[in-house]
């Protein structure tokens, strides 16, 4: 019978010989279905086995990644502090975070007292869906940028309290200048620092031809506000670029494309005087600067208030208790709270604000950095 063509005659059972053709077809179909079922089960078993192997491999990769991270962290934490003495002073080198012989590297480094979770607390809303720089700013970028300036005293001057206060002060400026918070914002208006990394809808290109010989504008480039403490104008991009050895005149967009560079530019501004014979914001804050008689007469004294005078001039200072100034102060005090420091340590009102200070550099476009 042709119905048995797929099955050798010698294997036909007596039962099959007595079956009608239709019954034989049903039997053959049943046999084949059984065969397919067995094969399907075998295939499922093989798939499960492959899935198990893949899962084991994935777990192994995770374990290796965690182990590598632990080794890296251990290596960083095990960096040996090198010490030498010169003219009776102690100098240290702590490797990647405080590289080079410096008296400041003998103190705590920023990662010793400022951790990832604290950065997240300070800028808790920066990656909210409504923010404008989601995924851009992070702790690693800040630390990588700070490492360039820690040998110069940034976050490494004085005792632990002073070091933490300087980081809070610097980030207070950053948080205020990059905030998209408002009165009824979720988490409060002070939780929205690092919401931006560039000026939204700039109205001009910020090219000043007065500086065409020293910092000429690049055709097609726009020098609108970018960064952690926003940079405006070609002459400021040029000065920052020279200091950091990056061609920001040709490529100002680098600031909004690289968070480490954006933080470096802001810290450089914090550490660098606007003019000769004037203090940097860093020196005014940590007490390195000693006011002259003229400074004292014009109410300029060491403290957070004078950092605003240096960075913003009469755009903020010398106008009484205006909102623009109070907003910066509020961010600083808020960050002190989050870092577990007392607001009283920020000093009295005259140290904390610049309401009555005479600006170091009265308004002129060439002197203003913002």
Q: Does pLDDT of 37 surpass 80?
A: no
**pLDDT of amino acid 42:** 57
Packing angle of the helix pair 139-147, 259-271 (nearest 10 deg): 50
Q: What number is the average pLDDT over the span 77-86?
A: 82
**pLDDT of amino acid 364:** 63
**pLDDT of amino acid 325:** 98
**pLDDT of amino acid 9:** 40
- pTM for this prediction: 0.78
Q: What number is the average pLDDT over the span 330-345?
A: 96
Q: What number is the average pLDDT over the span 358-365?
A: 83
pLDDT tens digits along 140-195: 999 999 999 999 999 999 999 999 999 999 999 999 999 998 875 788 899 999 99
pLDDT tens digits along 209-264: 999 999 999 999 999 999 999 999 999 999 999 999 999 999 999 999 999 999 99
Confidence of residue 65 (pLDDT cuts 50, 70, 90): very low
Domain 79-191 classified CATH 1.10.530.10? yes
Q: Does pLDDT of 267 surpass 70?
A: yes
**pLDDT of amino acid 2:** 34
What is the dihedral angle through the alpha carbons of 103, 107, 112, 115, rounded to the nearest 10 degrees? -70
For the chain, the average pLDDT equals 85
**pLDDT of amino acid 25:** 41
**pLDDT of amino acid 79:** 72
Q: Which of 259, 4, 284 is nearest to 166 (CA)?
A: 284
pLDDT tens digits along 40-56: 555 556 666 655 555 54
- Percentage of the chain exceeding pLDDT 70: 77
**Do 223 and 205 touch, CB atoms closer than 8 A?**
yes
Q: What number is the average pLDDT over the span 63-71?
A: 39
What is the domain partition of the chain in residue ranges?
Answer: 2-76, 79-191
Own/partner pairs, 84-93, CB within 8 angstroms, 24+ separation: none
Q: What number is the average pLDDT over the span 344-354?
A: 94
């Amino acid at each position: 019978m042709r119905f048995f063509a797929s099955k050798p005659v010698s294997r036909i059972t007596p039962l099959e010989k007595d079956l009608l053709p239709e019954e034989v077809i049903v039997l053959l179909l049943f046999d084949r279905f059984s065969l397919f079922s067995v094969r399907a089960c075998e295939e499922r078993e093989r798939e499960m086995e492959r899935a198990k192997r893949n899962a084991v491999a994935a777990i192994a990769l995770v374990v290796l990644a965690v182990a590598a991270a632990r080794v890296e962290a251990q290596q960083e934490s095990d960096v040996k502090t090198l010490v030498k003495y010169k003219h009776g002073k102690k100098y240290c080198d702590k490797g990647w975070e405080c590289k080079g012989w410096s008296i400041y590297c003998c103190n705590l480094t920023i990662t010793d007292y400022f951790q990832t979770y604290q950065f997240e607390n300070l800028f808790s809303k920066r990656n909210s869906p409504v923010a404008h720089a989601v995924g851009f700013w992070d702790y690693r970028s800040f630390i990588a940028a700070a490492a360039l300036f820690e040998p110069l005293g940034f976050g490494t001057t004085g005792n632990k309290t002073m070091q933490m206060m300087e980081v809070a002060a610097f980030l207070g400026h950053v948080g205020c200048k990059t905030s998209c918070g408002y009165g009824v914002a979720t988490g409060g208006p002070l939780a929205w620092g690092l919401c931006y990394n560039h000026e939204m809808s700039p109205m001009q290109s910020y090219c000043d031809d007065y500086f065409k010989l020293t910092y000429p504008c690049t055709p097609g480039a726009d020098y609108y506000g970018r960064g952690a403490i926003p940079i405006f104008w070609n002459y400021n991009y040029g000065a920052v670029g020279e200091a950091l050895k990056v061609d920001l005149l040709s490529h100002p967009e680098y600031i909004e494309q690289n968070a480490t560079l954006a933080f470096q530019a802001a810290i450089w501004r914090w550490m660098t005087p606007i003019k000769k014979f004037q203090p940097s914001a860093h020196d005014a804050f940590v007490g390195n600067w000693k006011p002259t008689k003229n400074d004292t007469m014009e109410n300029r004294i060491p403290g957070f208030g004078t950092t605003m005078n240096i960075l913003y001039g009469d755009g903020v200072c010398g106008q009484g208790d205006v909102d623009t100034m109070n907003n910066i102060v509020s961010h600083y005090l808020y960050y002190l709270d989050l870092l577990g420091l007392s607001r009283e340590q920020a000093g009295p009102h005259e140290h904390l604000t610049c309401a009555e200070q005479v600006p170091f550099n009265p308004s002129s476009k060439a002197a203003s950095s913002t």
